[in-house]
């Protein structure tokens, strides 16, 4: 299977406090897709230390939401895999410094 074309174009490591559920923001990133770009995506570490990538969040007065949903599971998973790989490489490099 050919992985969909997704390129992580920027990533910034973040030191944020834990959220109420024990997860925490560890990085933000931008991703280029064949026909669009997402800016401000998130890498979240859960309570078990596993990292997950998500599309940007939007906050309103009534709730937090993800205004952009990637409905193609192959495209979504490609973005998530690539973002986590880049995060892990950057975090390892930062730990070694």
Residue listed under structure tokens 């495209």: 75
Nearest by Cα to 30 from 14, 42, 44: 42
Dump pLDDT digits (tens) for 26-76: 999 999 999 999 999 999 999 998 999 999 887 766 666 777 889 999 999
Confidence band (pLDDT; 50, 70, 90) for 1? low
Kindly report, residue by residue over 2-29, the tens digit of the pLDDT: 777 899 999 999 988 888 888 999 999 9
Q: Quickly state the pLDDT bin for 93 (edges 50, 70, 90).
A: confident
pLDDT recorded at residue 63? 66
- Kindly state the tokens that stand for 53: 């990538």
């Amino acid at each position: 299977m050919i992985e969909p074309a997704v390129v992580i174009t920027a990533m910034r490591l973040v030191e944020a406090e834990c959220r109420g559920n024990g997860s925490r923001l560890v990085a933000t990133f931008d991703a280029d897709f064949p026909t669009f770009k997402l800016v401000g995506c998130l890498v979240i570490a859960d309570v078990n230390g596993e990292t997950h990538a998500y599309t940007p969040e939007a906050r309103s007065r009534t709730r937090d939401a993800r205004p952009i949903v990637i409905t193609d599971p192959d495209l979504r998973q490609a973005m998530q895999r690539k973002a986590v790989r880049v995060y892990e490489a950057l975090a390892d490099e930062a730990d070694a410094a």
